[in-house]
């Protein structure tokens, strides 16, 4: 979920030492689970906490990292549990086989559900998952010949070396530790960064080359997978399952668990799960009145969202974060290679032919032709409402062209979605800054550098080095590890440019980079644009500041009312009578 207020940069165990320490700790906990004799009551609570935590990890991934809601986690939990329950008792076959079947089934259903819904806004997903959850409950209750209906499934066996309850608990804890580690590391992987980028700003993620739809479906499928895994283990642990354990109410409990503990980290998931299993045990009298207990959960959800959006763990982390000073690691600006799309020299980088974008009857862009030659800075100017930003949006794929063609390096990209155009070599910044605000400057720029097809995309060290170099190049050397909120407006603009540069684009599109900057910052921007241009990268800039435009651009195209009214060398264009008229109005005709 959105956690713009507090910026969390969890310190994850780096390197082998951290992993070894974690493994040793996990082994100790497993040994304790197996070795310490506990009575059945305590054992049940521990078993529930371990299996539920795995299920709640699923919500950490989909809700915490990717910002997509899933209100059917109990249904996926049910797929795993019923696969193991029915498989091992009715159909025969080993526990592990049915555990795998349940996980595959849950993942497939999750992917299907996500694929049908995730192209649309978040409210669709919430309602569709609620509906799906209701359907699954209906089927579990009514499909008597298979699910045995409300009676549930009993006498579910455990697999061979884990027959004894404490040993089985040890198995669950071991799986919890492994899955927890993977979820913990996920945010720092390419997939995890993509998820966080989508959560913070989906539009910017697409423009950075991330296939947002694919990543969201993946996150949703992972969530369902973990639900299925937890469910299978739960069935083995408790030997009896019934439909009410997989109802909407249970999905709500999972949601409350992840929100209470902290949605952004698996540690939060474990805290939230444990607390919400223990608290009702302490307050047993609440259970005597049906509904009271869930009513409190409902109120708790509202209160958490209002007052503690990052949950218990997020709250604690934010307090600890104050004491942590980021270590300034330098980047090497000179090391930032900008290939400008490869072969330098002459030729056309971007070609628009008869490009049109109509909104109903309004022709925002009305048949614009434009050719941008390789190298140098090309400016697109025009009065307000002349169609500049719309042109840029059509070029970068945020809106679809009504007609005409966009060719990048000779390749027709008119029909490609935004992320594919970035992969093809477009880079852009936004008029209103779109950075991922819960991340550091470095992480923002790393995602840019991660563009599929870039030379460093699959090499973690090279990737980080390139990102640091890009930040150094825009003048932010040594501040790479600070969260976005600590940067001034002008520096945030620079980070956006660094993000685009790190992807090593063929063409850089800048949408009003000078807007809102003071005079010193404007001079810095001008120098930055000159430095970029000197490295051979072609820039297409939109701006209202004529001083900036005339200082950096060799070539200017002027739009008015969606049409091109002038095109040529800067000095000539700015004197063109139509341009003067468009900006200043026409002089009244001399009296006859």
Partner 1 sequence: MDLVLQLLFTGIGIGAVYALVALGFVLIFRATNVVNFAQGEFSMVAAFLMVLLAVDLEWPYWLAFAAALVGMAVLGAVFNLTVYYPLRHRTYLPVIISTIGASIFLANTTLALYGPQPRVLSGWFDNPGFTLGPVYVDNQYLLIIVVTAALVALQYWFFEHTLLGKKLQATSQDKEMASLLGIRVSTMIMITFVYSAVIGGIAGILVAPILFVSIQMGATIALKAFAATIIGGFGDVAGAIIGGLALGVIETFGAAYVSVPYKDGFAFLVLVAFLIFRPQGIFGERVAEKA
Whether 495 and 331 have beta carbons less than 8 Å apart is answered as: no
C-alpha torsion sign, points 32, 36, 41, 44:
positive
Interface with partner 1 (CB under 8 A), residue from 124, 240, 489, 569: 124
Query: Minimum distance between the CB of residue 425 and partner 1, rounded to whole angstroms?
Result: 19
Rounded least distance, CB 168 to partner 1, Å: 33
Stretch in the footprint of partner 1 (CB under 8 A) among 15-23, 112-120, 329-337, 548-556: 112-120
Q: Does 255 bind partner 1 (CB under 8 A)?
A: yes
- Contacts with partner 1 by CB under 8 A: the residue count is 52
**Which range, of 66-74, 178-186, 341-349, 545-553, touches partner 1 by CB under 8 A?**
66-74
Q: How far is the CB of 329 from partner 1 (least distance, A)?
A: 32
Could you give the C-alpha distances from 407 to 178, 284, 352, 416, in angstroms and in order?
48, 68, 6, 11
Residue list 375-394, contact with partner 1 (CB under 8 A): 389, 392-393
Cβ contact 262:273 at 8 Å: no
User: Binding of partner 1 at residue 15 (CB under 8 A)?
Assistant: no
Q: How far is the CB of 207 from partner 1 (least distance, A)?
A: 9
Looking up tokens 């700790």 gives 25
Taking CB under 8 A as the criterion, the residue among 21, 116, 164, 523 binding partner 1 is 116
Closest approach, Cβ 316 to partner 1, in A, equals 20
Q: Which is nearer to partner 1, 120 or 344 (CB)?
A: 120
Under the binding rule (CB under 8 A), the answer on residue 457 touching partner 1 is: no
Question: Is 67 or 232 the residue whose CB approaches partner 1 more closely?
Answer: 67
The secondary structure of residue 245, as a DSSP letter, is G
Shortest Cβ 390–partner 1 spacing (Å): 9
Nearest CA to 25 out of 315, 37, 33, 316 is that of 33
Backbone angles phi, psi at 556, to 5 degrees: -130, 140
Q: What is the DSSP letter of 14?
A: P
Separation between Cα atoms, residue 303 and residue 20, nearest integer Å: 39
Among residues 92, 290, 361, 410, which is the contact residue for partner 1, using CB under 8 A? 290
- The Cα–Cα gap between 258 and 249 comes to 15
Q: How far apart are CA 260 and CA 305, in angstroms?
A: 9
240/217 Cα distance (integer angstroms): 32
Report the b/e string of 14-37 with b at 16+ CB within 10 A.
eeeeeeeebeeebeebbeebbeee
Question: For partner 1, what does the binding mask look like between residues 303 and 332, x meaning CB under 8 A?
Answer: --xx--x-----------------------
Which of 519, 540, 520, 537 has its CA nearest to residue 470? 537
Residue 76 sits in the site that holds partner 1 (CB under 8 A): no
**Choice between 466 and 499, CB closer to partner 1:** 499
Which residues, numbered 461-520, are part of the site for partner 1 (CB under 8 A)? 511
Pairing relationship of beta strands 411-412 and 362-373 according to DSSP bridges: unpaired
Residue 139-158 contact track with partner 1, rule CB under 8 A, x = bound: ---x----------------
- Smallest gap from Cβ 524 to partner 1, in A, equals 24
Measured in degrees and rounded to the nearest 5, phi and psi for residue 531 equal -65, -40
Q: Does 32 bind partner 1 (CB under 8 A)?
A: no
When asked if residue 65 is in the footprint of partner 1 (CB under 8 A), the reply is: no
Tell whether residue 36 is a contact of partner 1 (CB under 8 A).
Answer: no
Candidates 135, 146, 178, 546; binder of partner 1 (CB under 8 A) is 135
First-to-final CA distance of the chain: 69
Q: Is 350 exposed, middle or buried (0-12, 13-18, 19+ CB in 10 A)?
A: buried
Q: By the criterion CB under 8 A, which residues form the site for partner 1?
A: 1-2, 67, 69, 71, 116-117, 119-124, 126-128, 130-132, 134-135, 138, 142, 203, 248, 252, 255, 259, 289-295, 297-302, 305-306, 309, 389, 392-393, 398, 430-432, 511
């Amino acid at each position: 979920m959105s956690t713009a207020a507090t910026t969390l940069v969890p310190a994850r165990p780096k390197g082998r030492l951290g992993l070894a320490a974690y493994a040793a700790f996990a082994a100790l906990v497993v040994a304790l689970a197996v070795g310490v004799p506990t009575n059945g009551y305590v054992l049940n609570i521990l078993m529930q906490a371990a299996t539920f935590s795995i299920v709640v990890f699923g919500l950490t991934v989909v809700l915490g990292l990717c910002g997509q809601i899933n209100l059917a986690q109990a249904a996926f939990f049910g797929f795993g549990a019923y696969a193991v329950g029915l498989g091992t008792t009715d159909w025969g076959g080993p526990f592990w086989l049915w555990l795998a079947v349940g996980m595959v089934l849950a993942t497939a259903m999750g992917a299907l559900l996500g694929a049908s819904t995730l192209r649309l806004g978040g409210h669709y997903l919430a309602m569709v998952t609620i509906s799906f959850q209701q359907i699954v409950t209906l089927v579990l209750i009514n499909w008597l010949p298979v699910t045995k209906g409300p009676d549930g499934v009993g006498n579910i066996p455990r697999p061979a070396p884990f027959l004894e309850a404490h040993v089985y608990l040890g198995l669950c804890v071991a799986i919890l530790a492994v899955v927890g580690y993977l979820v913990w590391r996920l945010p720092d992987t390419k997939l995890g960064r993509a998820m966080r980028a989508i959560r913070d700003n989906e539009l910017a993620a697409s423009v950075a080359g991330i296939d947002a739809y694919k990543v969201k479906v993946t996150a949703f499928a992972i969530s369902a997978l973990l639900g299925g895994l937890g469910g299978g283990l739960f069935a083995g642990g408790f030997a009896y399952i019934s439909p009410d354990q997989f109802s909407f109410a249970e999905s709500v409990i999972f949601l409350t668990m992840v929100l209470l503990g902290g949605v952004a980290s698996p540690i939060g998931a474990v805290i939230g799960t444990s607390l919400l299993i223990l608290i009702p045990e302490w307050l047993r009298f609440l259970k005597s009145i049906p509904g009271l207990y869930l009513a409190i959960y409902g109120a708790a959800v509202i209160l958490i969202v209002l007052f503690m959006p990052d949950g218990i763990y997020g709250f604690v982390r934010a307090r600890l974060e104050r004491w942590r000073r980021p270590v300034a690691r330098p980047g090497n600006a000179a090391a930032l290679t900008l290939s400008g799309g490869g072969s330098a020299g002459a030729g056309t980088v971007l070609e628009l032919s008869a490009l049109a974008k109509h909104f109903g009857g309004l022709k925002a862009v009305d048949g614009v032709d434009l050719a941008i030659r390789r190298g140098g800075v090309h400016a697109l100017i025009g009065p307000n409402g002349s169609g500049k930003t719309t042109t840029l949006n059509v070029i970068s794929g945020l809106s679809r062209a009504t007609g005409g063609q966009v060719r990048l390096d000779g390749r027709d990209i008119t029909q490609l979605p935004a992320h594919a155009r970035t992969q093809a070599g477009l880079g852009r910044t936004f008029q209103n800054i779109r950075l991922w605000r819960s991340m550091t400057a470095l992480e923002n720029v790393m995602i840019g550098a991660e563009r599929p097809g870039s030379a460093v995309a699959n090499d973690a060290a090279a990737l980080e080095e390139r990102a640091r170099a890009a930040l150094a190049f825009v003048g932010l050397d040594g501040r790479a590890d600070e969260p976005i909120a600590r940067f001034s407006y002008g520096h945030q603009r620079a980070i956006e440019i660094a993000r685009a540069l790190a992807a090593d684009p063929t063409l850089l599109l800048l949408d009003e980079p000078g807007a809102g900057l003071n005079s010193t910052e404007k001079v810095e921007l001008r120098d930055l644009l000159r430095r970029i241009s000197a490295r051979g990268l072609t820039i297409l800039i939109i701006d209202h500041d004529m001083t900036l435009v005339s200082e950096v651009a060799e070539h200017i195209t002027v739009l008015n009312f969606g049409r091109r009214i002038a095109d040529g060398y800067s000095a000539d264009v700015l004197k063109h009578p139509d341009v003067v008229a468009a900006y200043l109005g026409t002089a009244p005709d001399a009296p006859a």
